[in-house]
Amino acid sequence: MKLFGTDGLRGKAGEFPLDPGSVRLLGRELGRRLDSAGDRRVVVGGDTRESTPEIVVNLCAGLSQADCRIAAAGVIPTPGIAELVLELGAAAGISVSASHNPYADNGIKIFGPDARKWPDEEEALLEEKLLASRARAQAPGGRPPQAPEPDPALAEAYLARLTRSVPGRLSGCEIVIDAGHGAAYRVGPEAFRRCGARVRIVADRPDGRNINDGCGALHPAAMARATAEAGATMGVAFDGDADRAIFADETGRILDGDDALWIIARDWKRKGRLPEGGVVGTVMSNYGLEAALAREGIAFRRAAVGDRHVSRAMEESGAAIGGETSGHILLAPLSPAGDGILTALVLASIVREQGVAFSKLATLEKVPQTLTNVRVARRVPLEEVRGIAQAVARAREQLAGHGRVFLRYSGTEPLLRILVEGPDGAQVAAIARALEETARRELL
């Protein structure tokens, strides 16, 4: 059983490994692995799910048992935790969030002293401890621990780091923000206001259960409509912990992470800020991005899905920019973490500086692509499922070398993701439907 996926530990809140005893054990074991000679402070915060406060309480109880000091950030985006680790010189940071998942899920993301996600081998050691304890797991006894009092100075420090990253003021810009009823509902709008923008906000009333519910980065249609109706400069929708951002131009056209990579890469190249390493995308990035960057003389490399894989490929290639189609963008000169608010601020500053409409910069021509998610009951290695292997072979034969077929299991949800890409949109859609039918038949 694997507990840690592409973005930390994730599961149903209250169930193993997110039951109180397991969470407290995780906090204690994490604390024991920190450098005993250094600053044993750990930054802890999370999103707006109803389960987040209890998980934070038990994490902090475990950390305290390992003699760690807690810097409680309260409700804050996941990348804010990474930034605060750097700001404070802390030993680690923990974000309690299930990102774009429904409210009943939750998760734990761990950052090291360099503000990067914990290495796979360190997560594996924690996973081993959790699995070993499962058989004898029980609710912690004694008085329940007290929730740490959030320090408002930490959100201020994160805001200061965000606004320092924006090269120019955003006066004259009007931004529509969909906070997804998540962690960015306060700090996201405030960051834009401090940079001089006018802000319209939607989905900023979290109630513990409405996070990502028909809003945010996974459901950006309402944000896009609001942007067009207001004639705003730009619209942005964040996911639950604001490491992802999806955009809309002034016409209401929705733009994803590939569009963001295209716009920022061209702008940085024009300014001489883009090193030879160029841009890192993922296996899910649209081929149109790869082709367009090649025409601009910008190197492009694909990594496996997940920001830790993108980050590793950026380090290896010397790329300054990397990210995923989902809107998780890494800007190495500005932050070690993928930060949706930072990405939005950078894009808005490019629009403001160039003095043109957002739509005039969003010129990426994409190849027809279909991405389908199929909920599965089991995760069998795909090469061992004869029906799927045969369907993929037929699909590739139909595309005759002029497209891509790519299947992978989600690292955070019980989903099989099916990507089909090719020059003919109707053919791409038909191939995707056939693969989806096969997957449902074989994996449900």
Residues annotated as catalytic are: 99
3-state secondary structure of 309: helix
- Distance separating alpha carbons of residues 162 and 87, to the nearest angstrom: 12
Task: Read off the tokens for 344.
Answer: 């939005």
Structure tokens that stand for 172 in this block: 């004259």
Task: Give dist(CA 89, CA 102) in Å, integer.
Answer: 33
By CB atoms closer than 10 A (0-12, 13-18, 19+), residue 297 is: exposed
With beta carbons less than 8 A apart as the criterion, state whether 321 and 280 touch. yes
Q: Which residues pair with 255 in a beta bridge?
A: 247
How far apart CA 420 and CA 289 sit, in angstroms, is 15
What helix, strand, coil percent values describe the chain, rounded to 5? Answer: 40, 20, 40
Tell me the pairing of strands 4-5 and 8-12: antiparallel
Answer yes or no: are the C-beta atoms of 259 and 365 closer than 8 Å.
no
Inter-CA distances, 247 with 168, 236, 295, 328, Å: 20, 4, 24, 12
Structure tokens of 185?
Answer: 């509902």
**Residue 444: DSSP 8-state:** -
Residue with tokens 């319209």: 200
Token readout for 338 is 């993928």
Q: What is the largest CA-CA distance in the chain?
A: 66
Q: What is the dihedral of CA 266, 271, 272, 277, to 10 degrees?
A: -30
Residue 279 identity (one-letter amino acid): V
Tokens representing residue 69 in the block: 């000091």
**Angle value at C-alpha 119, between 114 and 123, nearest 5 degrees:** 125
> What is the C-alpha separation between 103 and 99, in angstroms, rounded?
9
